[in-house]
Each structure stands twice: as C-alpha cells, then as structure tokens.
Structure 1
C-alpha cells in the first residue's frame, strides 16, 4: 500500500494517529487545569511507566490542553547531568517575557524578573546571549537554598500569571534523572504554590521508581501528586490503536492480523506503532492479513534491535551488561536480586553497587523490595535474541 499514506508514527514521543486507552488520564489532567485557573485545588500529576508506553506523548497532549485552557507552557526533558536551576532559568525567563507584554501583569512580571535575576546570580546560572536587564531584588530568591528560592520564584510567576488571567503549566519529562536536592526543591515549590492557590501546575513523567524517589525527597509528595500508571494498552484499546488509523485511510485489516499484532507487541504503544507502520508498508493491498504481519515482524525486530534496544544496551559497561544478561537468562521478570547473584556466582551484597548503577541509568527498577525488572518492555527478549547463545 502507499507508504506516503502510512498513518503510523513509530518514534520517540511521536504523536500517534489515535491516542487510544488514555482517556481517564487526559480527563483528570484537563479537570485539574480548569480548576487551577479558577483558583481551586487541582492536583499535579506524575505519569509513571516503562519505556515506550507513551508518557511523552501524554505530556505533549497535556501541553496542548493547557494552552487551549489559557496557560503559558514550559516543557523540559531532564538529562542526567544538569541542575534544575539551569534547566528552569531559560523557561522561566521566557514565561516572564510573555507575561510582561500583558498590561495587567507588567508590575508583577517586572518583580518576578528581578527575583529571577537574583536566582541566576546566586546559583551561577549560565544565562547565554540574553540576560535580564533588571536589577536583582535583594532578599528574594537569593538565599542559596534551592527549596526556598525556587518557591519564591514560582510564587512570583504565579502572581504575574494570575494578574494576567493566565496560568503557567510546567511539564518535565524523565523526572527520575533529577538529583534528590532538585526533586525535593521542585516538590516544595509546587506545595507552596498549592497553598497560595496560584495558577501554576506541574506535570511530570518518569520511570516507575519516580513515586518512591518523590516520597523519599518529601514525605507529603504522595498526597501532593496523583501518580497515574501508563502501562501497556488492554486488548481492545490496542487493537483500536491499529484499526482506527487504517480505517481513517479507507483501508482494512483482518481480525487475525490484529490479534497477531497484539500478541507480538503485548499492547505496548511504541511497539504497536512500529508493527502498524511496517505492516502497512509490507501489504501489497487492503486488507492487511497475517502474512503481512509475519513479514513486518522481521523488519520491526531488526529496527528495534538496531535502534530502540541497542542504544540502551550501549550505555552499559561490560560488567553491567553481564548483569542484565544474567537477568534475561532467568526468563521473564520480575527477578529476585538473589537469583541474579546466584546466576553470576557472586554474593548479592557484592553486586549491590552494580545494580544501583544500572538503576540510576534507567535500565532496571525495583517493583518491590528484593525484586528487579527491566524498564524497557521486551528487553529480555532482545538479549536472548542477540546476546545469549541458543
């Protein structure tokens, strides 16, 4: 069939043609956005899930909703080696410049810019080619304590946004990469904003361990945020994610082919898009049938092995690779840490630092005490295909 009309979008964070099975999360986010603008309580969200489940897609959808509801938005992807102050500064500067153009917000935006200037100075933020042409505001956002200073800044931005009849929606992807200090400061700032009922709301996304990291940073985080889990799609929603876009293009797919795609992908959204894309391209004509799926599977697995899986495996040291291969040799997860240690012939206590390093790289996580599992769906299959002798 015509590859130009192929409706599927297999890519990191790419918007799928149909956002199936996520209505509850989107509705909850939209209600919170509307309530915050009315000066009422609304809970910020931390989206939790494995790789390839569509968390970034959901953040993008929430960003669009926020803009439609009257928010200015700031989107950040947290890397492993940057401070939150450096990440936030240009986004806050941009928001304040936009607010300063609104007559009713000029005074508040000016005050917030002065606070931001103080913040940049005390945290030695790299300001790039453009810096704020205002004097710092002594005593505001300049204590050097990130929890206090970020709360000051968020409050100043919230006042400016409220005076403009707007809101500020901050969205951060890969939140688990923030340091404990930075995550703690972010949580405190959101907490203070909630107490003051200012129109600022936060949506984050990260791996499943993020809920525990948030609770460790601040015990009240479990009450401050909702933590919707973004997992594999149930069968009906997964099939609709494939069938819907095909029907939109006035083409068809057979039921047995749909069933086979669901079986192969286990309902994970990233894989659904990959198999949908390849199946469309492999089909000579409509309807797409099971023989097309068979051909598409070879192509899809090759692409995933050489891209989606390989780039993650390449981040591991030889010893870390040895550890995850031992996991895969045990079959499907989750795995007991003690079983992995036994497979490697080493004491569990000796392997603790290695396990912790792999967790910090976002490759594995602990679903419960003593257990570990891969953060990348079907990664164990990849390892068995490519790194474990038959």
Structure 2
C-alpha cells in the first residue's frame, strides 16, 4: 500500500525532496565552518511568491540547528527589538547561562535548629541593552563551540527602521567576531526597499541570493524522487508532463504532485494523464494565491500595462503595448521598468517583454476590466 501523499503544496512548508537549492545550502554550511567574517553568514534571499524563499530559510535554520546553534526568528512588527530585549533573549540567558541566577544568603541557623534561606537575584534585568545581552549569550554559546542565527521572513512586511536598528546590533556582534549568522527572505521589492533605508548599510554587504526557476532536469529529479520514495512510480511521459505544467516553479511542483497523486492513490503508477488533469486547478490556485496578491497593490497604470500584455499569447511588443494603452513610449518605459523591478515581467529582446510568472496571463485575461 503506497504511503500518504508525499507532496506538500503549502507555502513555507519544506518539501520532502528539495529541488535546485543544494549549492546555496552547502555554501552556507561551509560558511559556518569558516568562522566569523565569512561573507555567506549573512544572506538576503529574494524571489517572487512561491519561489521557495521560506523553504530555503527553513533549511538554513536546520543546518544551524544540527550544529547546535540557537536559531532566533526575529518577531514581526514594530516591537521586534522590545520583544527581543524584554523577553526572548533574557529567557535564553536564563536557560543557557549557568550564572544567570545568583542566590544571596539572607538568613541562617544552627544545624538541626533552623534552616538557611536565600533570595533569588536576577542577573539579567530587562534594563540591560540588547547588544550586551546578545554578547553575553554569544559568550555562553562559545563555550560549547556553537553560535546563534537570526532569521527574518517576509522582509517586505517588516518595518525598515526597526530592521535598521537591529542591523546595528548585529553589526556589533560581527565586529566583535561572535559566532553569529543572519538570513532574511522576501520579495525583491521588499529587499530593495530595506537596503535603501538609512541604517541598513551593513546589510548591503550581505550576500544577495536571488532564487531562479528550477530547470526541467531539477523538476524531473525532484518529482521522480518524491514519488518513488513514497512507494509509487512515475513514468517518463508523466515526468515530462510535470515539466510542461510546473514551468520551473517550486510551489507548482508540489501542487501538481499533490493532486496527481490523489487521482488514484491505490494505483502504483502516476500517469501523464493524472498530471495533465491538475492544470485547471493549478491555474485557479496560482491566480488566487500568487497573482492576485501581486497585482492588487499595483497602481492602475501598471495593471493596465499587464492587461495590454495579456492580449498576446507570447512576448509583447512594447510599442504595441503603448498603442493599446494610448500612452507615449516614454510613459510605457516607466511602467515597464516598474514591473520588471517587481519581477512580474521580463525583457525578452529589444523592444519585447513577457510575463515572468506562470499562468499570470491566464489570470489577467479572466479578470473583469
């Protein structure tokens, strides 16, 4: 009897077989060996929605944990530093520092007649600075030859000023050659906005990692490995069908696999027909979970630009887009640059652009004007 469905089409959930990110993970593993100063200990991971940014962040955290490092996920919101300073770090110190609590003798007695009483004095009151507490925590961990890793997901939703203040704290740790690492993930626009913010100069030196689409070979290898490890088979035609529908998109690899598996879970082989049957659901799910959040915040001009592109079945002429919109080429160039910056479209040659994300064109065509 085949195992339960091995595919995991949920955002941020690590798949059973990770496709196409091994080089990055190996480089980070080596960076932890290289010690303080290794450039790959500070990473900024960017990419469109569904490209596997949170999954990569999870895997980086796991690498640190296997070495005995503490992983501190930075809290969301404007009270990030207050939460770290007021509760998270003091709690870690109380747990890991054997000198975190001192007992003061307050009473005595003669053996057999009385007992000795003590008061507990907290060595780390909240009033201590975050920089000082993290420095002490680093000293405690150094005794065990470990360190601490900070992670921040969804950078575009974080307060840039607060992140900038944390970057200053982190910079002090690096300058003192502490065993620390930092990894953040977010949409390209969010990462760019963060790096433009005053106070994040140090983060600009972090290694910028942009997640690209998976190759057809990576899709095929991951699909086949996931299926076979769960006790079923995937023929060559079915593997090819995966590539045709997934388009190198990690989230779709999991989504297609999940629903192809469900067509007939008791059957040993997953067929090409099973895979092709998932396409309508894939188009709907991508539109609702990926394209709608990406398009909704766009100014009307940029949305109009995308609608003008959706008329074409392939790459669009920028001159024809301007004519359809009724705007001069100069204005078209502004919209084009903004959408390329958001990674919703890409240049495909002189005077031509195409959508970047799979099934964005189908989503745009289905929307009422």
Q: Which TM-score applies when normalising by structure 1?
A: 0.71
Which residues in structure 2 correspond to 1:156-235 (within 5 Å)?
A: 156-165=133-142, 166-209=146-189, 212-213=192-193, 215-217=195-197, 221-222=203-204, 224-235=205-216
Tell me how far apart the structure 1 counterparts of residues 272 and 239 of structure 2 sit (CA, whole Å).
Answer: 8
The equivalent of 1:280 in structure 2 is: 261
The equivalent of 2:89 in structure 1 is: 95
The equivalent of 2:22 in structure 1 is: 23
After superposition, the Cα gap between the structure-2 partners of 1:210 and 1:315, relative to the gap in structure 1 and judged at 3 Å, is: closer
CA offset at residue 91 of structure 1?
4.1
Which residues in structure 2 correspond to 1:8-157 (within 5 Å)?
A: 8-36=7-35, 39=36, 41-42=38-39, 43-76=41-74, 82-83=77-78, 86-92=79-85, 93-104=87-98, 106=100, 134=125, 136-137=127-128, 153-154=130-131, 156-157=133-134
Tell me how far apart the structure 2 counterparts of residues 233 and 17 of structure 1 sit (CA, whole Å).
Answer: 16
After superposing the two structures, state which structure 1 stretch, 88-97 or 44-53, moved more: 88-97
Tell me how far apart the structure 1 counterparts of residues 26 and 182 of structure 2 sit (CA, whole Å).
Answer: 16
| SS of residue in 1 equivalent to 2:233 | coil
Per-residue CA shift, 1:78-134, capped at 9, x if unaligned? 5xxx43xx1343245313312223334628xxxxxxxxxxxxxxxxxxxxxxxx993
Aligned partners of 1:55 and 1:230 also within 8 Å:
yes
CA offset at residue 200 of structure 1?
2.4
**Higher radius of gyration, 1 or 2:** 2
CA offset at residue 204 of structure 1?
0.7
The equivalent of 2:108 in structure 1 is: none
The alignment's C-alpha RMSD in Å is 3.9
After superposition, the Cα gap between the structure-2 partners of 1:287 and 1:313, relative to the gap in structure 1 and judged at 3 Å, is: same
Aligned partners of 1:309 and 1:382 also within 8 Å:
no
Gaps of 5+ in 1: 108-131, 141-152
Asked if 1:289 is matched to 2:280, the reply is no
CA offset at residue 8 of structure 1?
0.4
CA offset at residue 12 of structure 1?
0.7
Gaps of 5+ in 2: 102-122
Tell me how far apart the structure 2 counterparts of residues 334 and 253 of structure 1 sit (CA, whole Å).
Answer: 36
| SS of residue in 1 equivalent to 2:222 | helix
Aligned partners of 1:170 and 1:201 also within 8 Å:
yes
| SS of residue in 1 equivalent to 2:182 | strand
After superposition, the Cα gap between the structure-2 partners of 1:281 and 1:198, relative to the gap in structure 1 and judged at 3 Å, is: same
Per-residue CA shift, 1:257-302, capped at 9, x if unaligned? 1112112211111001111111111246232222212212223323
After superposing the two structures, state which structure 1 stretch, 273-282 or 319-328, moved more: 319-328
After superposition, the Cα gap between the structure-2 partners of 1:247 and 1:54, relative to the gap in structure 1 and judged at 3 Å, is: same
